[in-house]
Structure 1
Amino acid sequence: MKKYILKRILISLFTLLAITLVLFILLQLMPGSPFNDEKLSADQRAVLYAKYGLDKPVFVQFFKYVGNMFRGDFGVSYNISKNTPISQLIAQRLPVSMNIGFQSVFIGALIGLILGIIAAVRHNTIWDTLSTVISVIGVSIPSYV
């Protein structure tokens, strides 16, 4: 059992690293730069590139990005709250998001349990079919609706 758990953890870490690499590469391939502001001079842009390490090779940027991510350093926000660490913004908003998520899971499980009981008790009746149709519709609706 320990071997299986270790294997699953290693596979999960490898998958997370692979997804991070793919996303990082896709972001690098996007046109433009984070500092395309017309008001910035070439010197100001060069200072910003050096400050954030964007003047370094891509593989160095990737390893710095992954290292910062593991330390919980996600940079600072310039859109939501000027110069506020993103980790602080996440910490402020995470409890509300988790509360909404837990409530959704609870309500979904409760509805699923009730529909499952109805379908089992009233097997091969209109109630069984109706429970199945409601379940399929519930699964088919996107989560953002």
Structure 2
Amino acid sequence: MRRYIVLRGAQMILVMIGVTVLCFFMLKVTPGDPATAILGVQASPQEVERLRRSLGLDQPWFVQLGIWAGNVMRGDLGISYISKKPVSELILTRLPVTLELTIFSMLLAILIAIPAGIISAVKRNTWIDYFFTGFSLFGVSMPSFWFGILLILVFSLWLGWLPASGYVPLQRGIWPHFRSLILPGLALGLFLAGVLVRFSRASMVETLVQDYIRTARAKGLSNRHILLGHALRNALIPTVTIVGIQFGALLGGAVIIETVFAFPGVGTMLLTAVNQRDYPVVMGVTLVIALLYTITNLVVDFIYMWLNPRIRFG
């Protein structure tokens, strides 16, 4: 176990380095100059060059990357070019909103998809199975931003049940806070729900034909006991894999959904920073998202062991 944790820690460090370098080069090849974006097109070339020197943008790329990496090793993500505030402070302010939206959408997807997948497997080749299979196809095919717009159109503009945009903090009431999460949570979690229905159904179908399931039926155990006590735990293992992998996709999808629903999370902050060429904010947010993704995958590995004690890591 200790060896496995050390190896995974080394992999996380390599992932962080790879994400940092890739993000840095993508920013460098993106058209636009931070100094010009800050001062505006009316600024003189002398003013632009002076600001570039003060920001260190006149240094070679490897020097800029080395300085930023050295600061990160000391826990300093830099200062925003635009707001002049520490990037870590900006992320800590916005990250809880994004994490709450992501976790909420994941819980919605799990609560919808896992029962649907199990029922579809038990009732396979019936109209119920076809209905949930169609829902799965709809979920993986519908773009999240377009589905979000449809949700706003139906539930906000036509019916007036839910707010069209904005985020209500929990301090202002549980129900208003929950209402502000429903539509963006559904829009963000639709794709994951569609994927989980397919995987949970396929995994359950495969599990139900195993020898130990037939043995349990031969012993006279009830279908409920067989499903919940024997089949479900083993069938959830590949589903847990998908949940862990898709967590990073949900964080990435939050960039678009937060823009559609005007959510004050790191997604909108990242998009704004890209448009303003605020390199420290872009680098810091990307690094934090990558770190959360790798930690989630590590947690998923330990959930494997809880679901199936036969799995051991050497």
Does structure 1 residue 30 correspond to structure 2 residue 30?
yes
Measured on the aligned residues, the alpha-carbon RMSD in Å equals 2.3
Determine if contact 1:115/1:131 at 8 Å carries over to the other structure.
Answer: yes
Compare the two structures and name the one with the higher helix fraction: 2
2:77 to 73, 76, 84: 73
- Structure 1 unaligned runs (5+)? none
One-letter identity of the residue aligned with 1:25: F
2:44 to 35, 38, 41: 41
Residue in structure 1 matched with residue 62 of structure 2 by the alignment: 59
TM-score of the aligned structures, taking structure 1 as reference length: 0.80
Deviation, 1:77, is 4.8
Q: Partners in 2 of 1:102 and 1:58 — Cα distance?
A: 37
Instruction: Check 1:135–1:65 CA distance in 2 against 1; reply closer, same or farther (3 A cut).
Output: same
Change (3 A) 1:138 1:119: same
Tell which has more relative contact order, 1 or 2 (C-alpha 8 A, sep 6+).
2
Aligned with 1:49: secondary structure? helix
**Post-superposition CA distance 1:47-104 (Å, at most 9, x none):** 32222111222111011122334424242252xxx33333322222222222211111
Deviations 1:117-140 (A, max 9, x none): 311331321211221221232233
Aligned to 1:76, the other structure's residue is in SS state coil
Equivalent residue number for residue 16 of structure 1: 16
Residue 60 of structure 1 aligns with an amino acid whose one-letter code is V
Q: How far apart in 1 are the matches of 2:121 and 2:32?
A: 57
- Alpha-carbon distance between aligned partners in 2 of 1:135 and 1:77, rounded to the nearest angstrom: 43
Equivalent residue number for residue 130 of structure 1: 131
Q: Counterpart in 2 of 1:94?
A: 95
Distance 1:39 1:69, change over 3 A: farther
SS at match of 1:55: coil
Q: Within 1, Cα distance between the matches of 2:57 and 2:81?
A: 17
Q: Which amino acid aligns with 2:114?
A: L
Opposite residue 139 of structure 2, the aligned amino acid is G
Q: What TM-score comes out, normalization by structure 2 length?
A: 0.41
Residue type at the aligned position of 2:13: L
Q: Structure 2 unaligned runs (5+)?
A: 148-314
Q: Distance between the aligned counterparts of 1:12 and 1:141, measured in 2?
A: 32
CA contact (8 A) 1:76 1:86 kept: yes
How far residue 105 of structure 1 moved from its aligned partner, in angstroms, is: 0.8
Counterpart secondary structure, 2:34: coil
1:105 is aligned to 106
- SS of residue in 2 equivalent to 1:84: coil
